[in-house]
Amino acid sequence: MEASVPTTSPVRIAPETFLIPNLAPAEPGTFVQVNSLLIRGEEPIIVDTGAPVHREHWLEQVYSLVDPEDVRWVFLSHDDGDHTGSLYDVLEASPAATLVTNFFAWERLALERPAVAPDRMIWRGPNESFDAGDRRLRLVVSPIFDGPTTRALYDERTGVMWAVDSFAALTTGAVHEVEEVPKDLYEDSFQLFNSMISPWHEWLDPVAYNRHVDTVEALRPQVVASAHGHVLRGGDIHDAFDRVRTLAGQPRIAPPGQSALDELLATVIAA
Ligand SMILES: [Fe+2]
Ligand SMILES: [Fe+2]
């Protein structure tokens, strides 16, 4: 199974801004994206650190673009395992790097490893920012999220937004730009993934929720990248915001259940 996963490599999505992609196998011919970002400005910033299963290739990709000694910031969107995979490797390899996180993420991380030292980090909340030399990065609450500590990131210099777990969708291989995937696959998996990630959408008041989504879109991102979604540009950005708007107040989309497990088990037994 692992051998059939295409090899990924960094993709430049904006000036000095690189997607660090990895893939996990899903339905035949499709993959879950597990991305991070590197912003290689005056003070290089690593944005999320991938999943533990991809650690080796993740480190290889990131350090092909930046010297570990030069990394100045590690922005952690939240403390889920698929975003913290190489966090401690980076903190060790990059002694000049400061972790940008928040109180609750720090506390939750401390249940897995000894707590990150206070002098290695800064805490930032929604609508706060930090300066990284030639650019300012602003934190916002992403429209879709599966962890309470989640913050999206907006680079005021390039207009790149890191939307974290929002806008997730299946892809067909080392295929990262949205116009390169079949429309049906994108649309169907987008609805399913965003519903699974934020199952509470069924209780949302559409008016109140859309007000929040509007404030995020009002930043007018030029490029949107995310941990499990495609790179979005132009009209595809508004389209993605609209797709999550429509989830408010709608029933959850059911993920695969016992019958899917039965099928999987039958395949394993037959093999
Ligand atoms: Fe998450
Ligand atoms: Fe995630």
The per-residue pLDDT for range 117-126, each reduced to its tens digit, is: 999 999 999 9
270 Cα to the center of ligand 2, angstroms: 33
Q: Quickly state the pLDDT bin for 260 (edges 50, 70, 90).
A: very high
Q: Which of 120, 59, 46, 119 is nearest to 89 (CA)?
A: 59
Is residue 166 scored above 70 in pLDDT? Answer: yes
Query: How many degrees, rounded to 5, is the angle at CA 268 between CA 264 and CA 269?
Result: 115
The CATH number covering residue 235 comes to 3.60.15.10
pLDDT digits (tens, 9 = 90+) for 194-232: 999 999 999 999 999 999 999 999 999 999 999 999 999
166 Cα to the center of ligand 2, angstroms: 9
Q: How many structural domains is the chain composed of?
A: 1
Q: Quickly state the pLDDT bin for 48 (edges 50, 70, 90).
A: very high
Looking at the DSSP bridge assignments, the partners of residue 31 are 25, 171
Asked if 73 and 43 touch (Cβ cutoff 8 Å), the reply is yes
Is residue 115 scored above 60 in pLDDT? Answer: yes
Q: What is the pLDDT of residue 1?
A: 45
Q: What percent of the chain has pLDDT over 70?
A: 99
**CA torsion sign, 103 to 132 to 141 to 179?**
negative
242 Cα to the center of ligand 1, angstroms: 21
216 Cα to the center of ligand 2, angstroms: 19
Average confidence (pLDDT) over 167-188: 97
Average confidence (pLDDT) over 250-256: 95
82 Cα to the center of ligand 2, angstroms: 5
146 Cα to the center of ligand 1, angstroms: 5
Q: Quickly state the pLDDT bin for 39 (edges 50, 70, 90).
A: very high
270 Cα to the center of ligand 1, angstroms: 34
Range of the domain at 124: 2-270
| Nearest bound ligand to the CA of residue 83 | 2
